[in-house]
Amino acid sequence: MRGEPKSKVHGRGNPRLDRVLDFLAFAAKPMPLVTLLDGGPRRIAEIFDAAVCSLYLVEGDGHTLVMRGNVGFARSAVGQVRLQVGEGMTGECVEYLRPVSSADARSHRAYKEFDALEEHRFPVFLAVPIRGRSGPHGALVVQRESNAFTDDDVALLASLGALMAAGMRHAELIDATRERPISRKAGGGTRRVTLAGRPFVPGRALGAIAALRRPATRPTEQRDDDAVQADVRALRGAFDTAEKAIQGLTHRAAKLDLGRDAAFLSTHIEILGDMRLRERVQELVTDGVGIANALGRVARDATRTAISLTKDPFLEERARDVEDLCDALVMLAATDKRAELPTKAILVGDQLTVFDLLISARANPVAVALTDRAGGPRTRTLLKLLDVPAIVGVDGLFRWSSDGDVALLDADHGLMVINPSKSEMAALREYKRSHA
């Protein structure tokens, strides 16, 4: 009919519209957080022809922004790049809950550069806040080499950020400072909890949680002659096994080019080869006190000498190494069922020691999560040698997890999901298939 307004179906062919509609279809579906962290930034970068898209989440006490999703920078940046709310252009946009942009970010008064990212390559910058239920949830950032972002770009990115917020409401990170509301029996948890840490060894794994443990304390007991002879043979075998294992770790460290960071392994070889130590332990075992008590006494003597008499930092560290090795020798000489770990578990603890590479690793763990007490070059070296997905600095690890809980550890993004959903486990299986 004449005068009737014309209509138009906007079919495929407009690249930006096609990408926006693709993102809308993606964001409308319920999905695991890791899927959102991987797929969201990639699609948004394509919409804006941006070389970089980063997704920051507000974590901890609500004042820290952590990059949990990214395309354009090295994968190692995820989980490591951190800002305080109000710091840098990204932190400023979260503080004021308003977009921040610049055609040359380096000239902006709030600009903060991370040298490892080489951000100077992408000076055109736009950050928008992501709103949560009761405040900022994070920020979306896009960067490119040239062509300043327009007002329409700002409005569009802010809208896409709102869609990202809706998708993240089902997977908000737990405030690790909050008290755990309900005590649970080991292995009986059903509440889904996501904890955040720093990625260390990349990869993803699913398994039951098992806390790292040591040999149980045993009362002193007098052994008969047959038991004493069996103990002596078992002790010699334990020393030989430990020495070969440490030598194997030394060779592996050399292949990984760990250099001086793995120098402590040579100290362990020296301790195991110390004939005075071996003779003292064998003397005690021959007296019938048992392997565990003999090694325990030697470890205590080393500690007493280092701390009470010399106060030498080197000897104190050596005493700790002696104690660590003595615990391992106990386990190698006579298996202690109370200290055994389940196989294919996600190991959790405050720190990792050589004991764990000699003993805990025999259970073939699938991943490791350590609290914020873990640190230093030795922990980093041991995690590299263990070579399973690992995250460190996990706040609230023991408050929210128990032995036997099923967990999904994502060391690509630095997240640990306790009691993951079926969709999260399905996403992990898909990830495994695609990276096989």
pLDDT in tens, 381-427: 999 999 999 999 998 899 888 999 999 999 999 999 999 988 899 98
Q: 3-state class of 8 per DSSP?
A: coil
Mean pLDDT of 257-279: 93
pLDDT of residue 278: 92
Confidence of residue 191 (pLDDT cuts 50, 70, 90): confident
Give just the sign of the alpha carbon dihedral 363, 368, 373, 375.
Answer: positive
pLDDT of residue 176: 43
Asked whether 291 and 333 are in contact (CB, 8 A), the reply is yes
Q: Is the pLDDT of residue 341 over 50?
A: yes
Mean pLDDT of 365-378: 89
Q: How far is 101 from 124, CA to CA, in rounded Å?
A: 8
Q: 3-state class of 406 per DSSP?
A: strand
Give tens-digit pLDDT for 98-149.
999 999 998 888 888 888 898 889 999 999 999 987 789 999 999 999 999 9
Q: Which residue has the tokens 């004042």?
A: 63
pLDDT of residue 311: 64
Quote the DSSP letter at residue 150. Answer: P
**193-213+341-434 maps to CATH 3.50.30.10:** yes
Q: How far is 180 from 191, CA to CA, in rounded Å?
A: 11
Question: Which position has the higher pLDDT, 1 or 300?
Answer: 300
Asked whether 368 and 344 are in contact (CB, 8 A), the reply is no
pLDDT of residue 435: 80
Q: How far is 358 from 386, CA to CA, in rounded Å?
A: 10
pLDDT of residue 396: 87
C-alpha distances out from residue 81 to 66, 147, 389, Å: 6, 26, 19
pLDDT of residue 138: 93
Give just the sign of the alpha carbon dihedral 177, 178, 179, 180.
Answer: negative
Mean pLDDT of 177-195: 59
Residues carrying CATH 1.10.274.10, the chain: 225-337
Among 395, 409, 399, 368, residue whose Cα is nearest residue 189: 399
C-alpha distances out from residue 109 to 141, 143, 426, Å: 17, 17, 45
Q: Is the pLDDT of residue 192 over 90?
A: no
Asked whether 107 and 89 are in contact (CB, 8 A), the reply is no
**15-171 maps to CATH 2.40.160.40:** no
Confidence of residue 281 (pLDDT cuts 50, 70, 90): very high
Residues carrying CATH 3.50.30.10, the chain: 193-213+341-434
pLDDT of residue 309: 59
pLDDT of residue 182: 47
Confidence of residue 432 (pLDDT cuts 50, 70, 90): confident
pLDDT of residue 91: 95
Q: Would you identify the CATH topology of the domain 225-337?
A: Enzyme I; Chain A, domain 2 (1.10.274)
Mean pLDDT of 428-433: 89
- The per-residue DSSP string of 244-295 comes to HHHHHHHHHHHHTT-GGGGTHHHHHHHHHT-HHHHHHHHHHHHTTS-HHHHH
pLDDT of residue 106: 87
Give just the sign of the alpha carbon dihedral 141, 142, 143, 148.
Answer: negative
One-letter identity of residue 332: L
Over its C-alpha atoms, the chain yields an Rg (Å, rounded) of 27
Q: How far is 373 from 352, CA to CA, in rounded Å?
A: 10
Residues carrying CATH 3.30.450.40, the chain: 15-171
The whole-chain average pLDDT of the chain stands at 88
pLDDT of residue 81: 95
Least confident of 143-147, 187-191, 262-266, 402-406: 187-191
Q: Is the pLDDT of residue 13 over 90?
A: no
Burial class (CB in 10 A: 0-12, 13-18, 19+), 171: buried
Question: Which position has the higher pLDDT, 141 or 377?
Answer: 141
Q: Which two tokens stand for residue 186?
A: 């080991």
pLDDT of residue 84: 95
Confidence of residue 255 (pLDDT cuts 50, 70, 90): very high
Confidence of residue 177 (pLDDT cuts 50, 70, 90): very low
Residue 248 has a CB neighbour count (10 Å cut-off) of: 13
Confidence of residue 310 (pLDDT cuts 50, 70, 90): low
